[in-house]
Amino acid sequence: MKHDPMLTALAEAGPRRAADKPIPPASLLAELERRCATLRIQSGGERIDMLFAQLDEFAILAADLIDSLAAPATLQPPMRRAFDAAHAGLESAFVQAEAILAPLSSLLLTGNGFDGAVAAAAELLATLAPIRADATRLHDRLARDLCALLYPGVRNGIEVRLIDAGFADPITAARRLQEWQRGMPGVLQRASEKRALTAVLPMLIDELERFEDPDAALAALDEIVCRLPADIVLFGPLRARPSLLKSLLCLLGQAPTLSRHLIAQPDLIRRLIDSSAYAPLPAPADLDAEFRLLVSGGDRAAGHLRVAQALSGYRFGLGLQMLEATDDALDIAIATCDLAEAGLRTMADDVLARMKENHGVVPGAELVILALGRFGGRSLTDVSDLDIIYLFTGDYRASSDGRKPLDANEYFSRVAQQITTAMSTVTTLGPLYEIDTRLRPWGAKGLLACSTDTYRRYHSDNAWTWEHMALTRARPVYGSEDARREVKSIINQRLRAPRDRDALLRDAVKMRGEIARHKPPRGPFDVKLLPGGLVDLEFAVHVRQLDQHVGIHPRLRTAIRSQVSAGLMDAAVIAAHETLSRMLIVLRLLSHHCHEPAPGQRPVIALACGFDDWDALVAGYAAARATVDHAWTSVIGEPAARGC
């Protein structure tokens, strides 16, 4: 088939004449439909039925848009996007049709009956090129006309696409992307990275369009790109692995805490590119070896900072695994705890070694660090404090044997202070960990470190019921096996001691009431403090531990299973605890404000919590709270508690 003479003349007249007398879209559509009608009746046309279906869809949308040009008020950006999608689908159909016809049309004529099919395929193939060109010409012309009406005065194609994508400030966003195209960030000065950016850009904007605040996601990505070391190759891998782009943008759009990790430490993006961020946490011995190497050297503060940055890198990887639900949130909480313990071991070893240089050691004494709360229970969230008590074995009246001797209390209190400072090393993200030592004997009024004998006497004679409840989750995390056994013996002796059951119940109810008054829930998704939340569950378990001496174990999960086996709790409490725990761990990372998450976050949060969708999570949350409320009510419903 030949081109229309008028179109050929316009083409031959050169760009100036064609620009002066543009062909109306209606004429372009009429020509396209005429060529398509001819194509349909050609021999062999049934081979490319899928192309005709795409041509029909494209022509219908084009006709609707042409009608709408006469009434601009009816035009909406989604209409243009639908037309663009139809044209993209048509392009794919042309490629498929050519793939079907080209092999047949290239066969040699043999003089037998098969020659008709070969000739028909060749003729069809020759006809496709002008039809494809007509469709592209119609698309481009309509796209220009629509843009002029929808976005008067806007001539920047990127800006138009950003407006379509819902950007609140498309001018600023377009400027950012154009700076990338000009190679202003160091990482984009290589020609290969610029080419990769050009290929990735449409997909990047498509993905950003999915977010409720695409401006913020692009701004975060821009800050990362501008801070990346020049030797990193980013856009090449993004082009080769579209899933990598989705992961990066999901991180920026759904997890502000994780995006701050990347902004503060842009080099962490290497872990995303090479997939090492998804690897399991190394074994404790391997972490110890890595951190010992990092902390070594003369500059103590620099060594602590290197360890803190390594810890932040691993925490980033664990958060990414939770975001993408590649591992159970409960297991990630355990790994987060193991990581903190590894950091604590390294810092404690370093502090003790340096203390020895100046002050020697205290003969017969050694440091023991006791973890409590979520740290003791091996269920840390990304933002959990580390509840710690510093103890030491031996005689508190002894002195160290160095050139600057200190008595044992002063020696180990200095050690405790230096470890706390090291674990709180300030990074670009703020303190590495918040360390809470208020659970030590006599609280803030007591020594930062005390002897195990003092600790034993305190819990025997002076501790309150709430301190014994906190002791149920105590776990030694530093010290020799002998020292740990000594501390465990003190804890078990206190927890298994006979106690007044009525007084225990009254104290527990009173304490829970004080928490409710002084620390009320912050929103409907405060899974700790709401009635039927984790605090109620912890109180129910701890009362049974102290009263019945069943399930005495620092991990709440293990304690609950023991109490269920003993008939002290309903089996449904196991699943309720897991639901509430997963929600706490995930929400602390992705939506820490305790109110209903943004709609765009809900599917991600639901999946990370082990549910198929948000509605299922909400139903599971309500069921878990009802189960816990019943468990707590069954404890406080006893006569002594009702009399409070």
Give Cβ neighbours of residue 522 (< 8 Å, ≥ 6 apart): 529, 593, 594
| Per-residue pLDDT, 117 | 65
**Rounded to an integer, what distance in angstroms lies between the CA atom of residue 587 and that of residue 529?**
14
CA 128 – CA 268 distance, rounded (Å): 49
H or E stretch at 368 = strand 367-372
User: Which helix H or strand E contains 609, and what residues bound it?
Assistant: none
Q: What integer pLDDT is reported at residue 341 of this predicted model? A: 98
pLDDT at 377: 97
Boundaries of every domain in the chain: 5-150, 160-254, 284-497, 502-642
pLDDT, residue 8, reads 30
Of the candidates 620, 616, 582, 623, the one whose C-alpha atom is nearest the C-alpha of residue 602 is: 616
Q: Please give the pLDDT value at position 115.
A: 57
Of the candidates 110, 94, 105, the residue with the CA atom closest to the CA atom of residue 32: 94
In a 3-state reduction of DSSP, which class is residue 390?
Answer: strand
Q: Among 634, 467, 488, which Cα is nearest to 546's? A: 467
How many CB atoms neighbour CB 59 within 10 A?
Answer: 18
User: Exposed/middle/buried for 119, CB within 10 Å: 0-12, 13-18, 19+?
Assistant: middle
Tokens at residue 234, please?
């980013």
Per DSSP, the three-state class of 392 is: strand
| CA–CA gap between residue 171 and residue 163 (Å, rounded) | 9
Q: What are phi and psi of 388, to 5 degrees?
A: -135, 145
Residue 32 is predicted with a pLDDT of 87
pLDDT score recorded for residue 124? 78
Burial category of 612 from C-beta neighbours within 10 Å (exposed 0-12, middle 13-18, buried 19 and up): exposed
CATH class of 502-642: mainly alpha
284-497: CATH, from 3.90.1150.10, 1.20.1050.10, 3.30.470.20, 3.30.460.10: 3.30.460.10
3-state secondary structure 311-362: HHHHHHHHHHHHHCCCCCHHHHHHHHHHHHHHHHHHHHHHHHHHHHHHHCCC
Phi, psi of 549 (to 5 degrees): 60, 35
DSSP tag of 3:
P
SS3 283: coil
pLDDT at 513: 93
**Which stretches of the chain drop beneath a pLDDT of 70?**
1-21, 104-118, 638-644
Report the DSSP pairing between strands 426-427 and 430-431: antiparallel
Q: Are 185 and 197 in contact (CB under 8 A)?
A: no
Domain 284-497 shares a fold with domain 502-642: no
